[in-house]
Amino acid sequence: MSESLFALVSDWGPVLIFASAYLSCLAVPIPTSLMMLSGGALVASGDLVLWQVVAAALTGAILGDQTGYMIGRHGGAPLVARIARGPKRRAALARAQVIVDRRGGVGVFFSTWLFAPLGPWVNFIAGTTGLSWRRFTVWDILGETIWVSLYVGVGALFANRIEAVADLLGNAVGLLAGLAVVAAMAVWIRGALRAPKGDTSNAG
């Protein structure tokens, strides 16, 4: 973890954590997890207050998710497609579509912390596919509570080894995201193999 990032969190505290959590939930590439780890470490050192760090991160994340959901709901698929320009974003959007289609609210829950890189895209898709706002919100709050508690808590517990912990968590999240992609592909292939052979009456 760069010292400059740690210094930023120290200087701006909960305000920066709130802003980064909000923006990261809208697919803005900000290292919010590292900021929460830093916030937890600064709580352990007495430089920040625990409830303020947790409240800032949780509020920012929930509001960011709600904004993404509303963008999808009111902007529709065309607007989301414009946001997802580029092959990587389109691929993430496709994976998010599979998660929401297959798992609904439970998919939202896991996307907030277990497969966090897909979280913003799941928010957009949840809005476009008509997942109810109440169901989205309940699962989203539960998931974000785990995400925030995990990173702030780990940052506080392992403040003296925060950089090593950040690398470990980053590798774990990357592995889980990769496994999610493999699982989604397996489900698709299984469905394709089980599909009817097709109507041969139109065969040439």
For the stretch 132-165, pLDDT in tens is 999 999 999 999 999 999 999 988 888 776 555 5
- Whether residue 44 contacts residue 152, with contact meaning beta carbons closer than 8 Å, is answered with no
Is the pLDDT at 199 greater than 80? The verdict is no
Q: What's the rounded mean pLDDT across residues 167-177?
A: 49
- Whether residue 70 contacts residue 93, with contact meaning beta carbons closer than 8 Å, is answered with no
Q: Which residue would you say has higher pLDDT here, 77 or 4? A: 77
Q: What is the pLDDT of residue 125?
A: 95
In this prediction the pTM is 0.78
Q: What is the pLDDT of residue 84?
A: 84
Question: Quick one: which of 65, 41, 62 has its CA closest to 158?
Answer: 41
Cα separation, 82 vs 93, in Å, equals 11
Q: What is the pLDDT of residue 45?
A: 87
Q: What is the pLDDT of residues 62-101, one digit of tens each?
A: 999 999 999 999 998 888 888 888 898 989 999 999 999 9
